[in-house]
Amino acid sequence: METTRVLLIRHGQSEGNAAGRFGGHTATPLSARGRKQAEATAQVLSSENFTAIYSSDLSRAVETAMPLARLTGLDVEQTDAFRERGVGVMEGLTFEEAAS
């Protein structure tokens, strides 16, 4: 029986993460640090034998997946099935703002 292995990778640091803001479904790009994290992750994983790359359709997740896609020659299949949970009225707020 053939085994399927699934690797789950969290997106790199987003600008919202860096500012201490709730992201949820808000599209926030990766920060410079997040782009470096995505590149480093791709380098570490590039020797794996991937057959597909799936990503949330949010920009921070797609940005994280793209370096690995470039190294492996695979397309990034985007789906809202992997989106983070929405946090409603707290989206975009800092943790401190949400607590008050």
The per-residue pLDDT for 40 is 99
Catalytic residue numbers, as ranges: 11, 84
pTM value is 0.90
Indicate the fold that domain 15-95 takes in CATH. Answer: Rossmann fold (3.40.50)
The per-residue pLDDT for 95 is 87
Domain definitions of the chain by residue range: 15-95
| pLDDT category of residue 62 using cuts at 50, 70 and 90 | very high
Q: What is the pLDDT of residues 8-40, one digit of tens each?
A: 999 999 999 999 998 889 889 999 999 999 999
Q: Give Cα separations from 19 to 6, 82, 90 (angstroms).
A: 31, 23, 14
DSSP string, 2-63: --------PPPPBHHHHTTB--TT---PBPHHHHHHHHHHHHHHTTS--S-EEEESSHHHHH
